[in-house]
Structure 1
Amino acid sequence: MAEDKDDPTFPGEEPENASSPESADGNGGGEGADDFTVDDILGAAQSADAAAADDTDAVADRVEALESQLLTDLKRLQAEYANYRRRTEEQREIEIERAKGAAAKGLIPVLDDLDRAEKHGDLGEGTPFAAIAEKVRAVVERMGVEAYGAAGEAFDPQQHEAIFQQPTPGATEATILEVVETGYRLGSVELRPAKVVVAVPAE
C-alpha cells in the first residue's frame, strides 16, 4: 500500500496536537493536588513550636513537683533525725544516772555507818575516821547524790516511808517527827526513800 504523502505524521509518531493524559485533566506542568503552600509550611512549623513549648512546660512542672517533694522529704527526715538524737540523748542521760545510782547504792550502807558513828561521837575532829568520812561524803557529793528527809518537814508519801505514826497534840498536818534512815536520790533516780516517824494530829 502506498504511503499518503499528505499525512503529516509518520508511523510511530504522535501528532503534535495530540493530548496526553496529563494535559487532559488540566494538571500537566501545574501545581499538584498534594503540593504545600508557604502558609501551610509556616502553620505546621508554628504548631510544632507550640507542641514543643507545651512539652517544655509539662517537664518544668514535673521537675518543680519533684523538687517540692524532695524538699518535703528532706525536712521530714531532718525532723525525724532531730527527734532520734533527742531521744537518744535523753536515754543516754537516764542510763548514766542509773549507772551512777547503782554505784551510789553500794555506798549507802557506808553512809549509814558514818551517820551512826557520828551520832555516837566516833567522828571527832582530827581523828582518822573523821578524815575517811569526809572523803567518802565528798565522793558521794561529786556523784550528785542528795540526802533528804529532816525532822519538821511535811510528810510526803511519795518520798518518805512512814514506819510509825505518832499522834501529837497541836499537830495540824502530818510532819516528820524523827528520821530513822536518811533518804537518798540521784537526779530523778530514787536510791532509797527516807524512813521516818510521822507526827499526826491527835484525835
Structure 2
Amino acid sequence: MAEPKNDDFLDDIEAAEAEELLEEMAEIDSEAAEIDALRAERDELKDRFMRALADTENTRKRSEKQRREAEQYGGSKLARDVLPVYDNLKRALEVVTDEQKASAGALIEGVELTLRELLNVFGKHGIELIAPEVGEKFDPQVHQAMFEAPVPGTKSGDIIQVAAEGFLLHDRLLRPAQVGVSSTPAT
C-alpha cells in the first residue's frame, strides 16, 4: 500500500483554506457592496430631505411675503376708487368765494373737515399725498406729464401747472401727480 505523502495532504488543506478564504472574501465583497448601496441610498435620501426642507422654508417665506403684501396693498383698488372723492372735495373748496364763505360758512367748514378726515384715514392706511409745486423738476417716477408748453422764465422739465395731486400707497405709486411741463429749451 502506498503511503500518502505529507505534501499532498498539505496541498489539500491549503486548497480548502484557500477556498474558504475566497468564499469569505466574496462574502465581504458582497457585504461591502451592500454597505455602499446603503450609503448611496442614505445620501440620496438626505439630499431629498434637505431639498424638501429648503422648499418648505421657501414656501413659508413666500407665503409670509404674500400675506404682508396683501395686508399692505390689498386695499389699493378701494383706495384708487376713493381718490376722486378727494379730488372733488378739494375742487369744491378751491372755488369757494369769500361771499360764499360768509353765507354758507358752516357748510364749507364741514367740507373742509371731511377733506381733513379723509386725509387722516389715508394716512392711517399708508396713503401719502404727492403734491408737486410749480417750479419743481418733473420726476417721471411720480409725475405724469399731461402736456408740454414753452413758458418764458422756466427751464425744460420744470413743472408749470399741477392738474391733480398724486398718491403713494406705502412705497407703491397709486396714482401719479398730473402736471404740465415746460418745454422751453435752455438758453
TM-score, scaled relative to structure 1: 0.66
How far apart are 1:97 and its partner, in Å?
4.9
Structure 1 residue 139 displacement after superposition: 1.1
Q: Secondary structure at the match of 1:195?
A: strand
> Contact 2:76–2:169 at 8 Å: present in 1 too?
yes
Give, in whole Å, the separation in 2 of the partners of 1:202 and 1:54.
Answer: 88
1:52 matches 2:27: yes
Alpha-carbon distance between aligned partners in 2 of 1:177 and 1:83, rounded to the nearest angstrom: 49
Deviation at 1:189? 4.5
**1:199 has 2:182 as partner:** yes
Which residue identity is paired with 1:174?
A: G
Do residues 75 (structure 1) and 50 (structure 2) align? Answer: yes
CA distance in 2, matches of 1:190, 1:163: 17
- Note the aligned Cα RMSD (angstroms): 3.3
Equivalent residue, structure 2, for 1:8: none
- What letter matches 2:115 in structure 1? A
1:96-115 deviations in whole A, cap 9, x for unaligned?
45531111122212211332
Per-residue CA deviation, residues 37-71 of structure 1 (Å, 9 max, x unaligned), is 54444333322222221112111111111122122
Structure 2 unaligned segments of length 5 or more: list them. Answer: none
* Distance in structure 2 (CA, Å) of the matches to 1:70 and 1:39: 46
* Equivalent residues of 1:150, 1:178 under 8 A apart: no
Instruction: Output aligned runs, 1:129-144, within 5 Å.
Output: 129-144=111-126
Query: Which structure has greater helix proportion?
Result: 2
AA in 2 matched with 1:70: L
Matched residue type, 2:176: P
In the alignment, the residues of structure 1 paired with residue 76 and residue 21 of structure 2 have an alpha-carbon distance, to the nearest angstrom, of 82
Partner-residue secondary structure (3-state), 1:168: coil
2:93–2:111: 8 Å Cα contact kept in structure 1? no
Shift of 1:84: 3.5
Query: What is the alpha-carbon distance in structure 2 between the residues aligned to residue 202 and residue 45 of structure 1?
Result: 102
Residue in 2 that maps onto 1:13: none
| CA distance, structure 1, for counterparts of residue 154 and residue 57 of structure 2 | 52
Q: How many Å separate the matches in 2 of 1:187 and 1:135?
A: 19
Moved more, 96-105 or 178-187: 96-105
Which of 1 and 2 has greater Rg? 1
2 CA distance for matches of 1:60 and 1:78?
A: 26
Among all aligned residue pairs of Structure 1 and Structure 2, give the percentage whose two residues are the same amino acid: 27
Secondary structure, aligned partner of 1:201: coil
Question: Aligned with 2:139: secondary structure?
Answer: coil
What is the one-letter code of the residue matched to 2:130? Y
The TM-score, its normalising length taken from structure 2, stands at: 0.71
* Uncovered stretches (5+) of structure 1, i.e. residues with no partner: 1-25
Partner SS, residue 75 of structure 2: helix
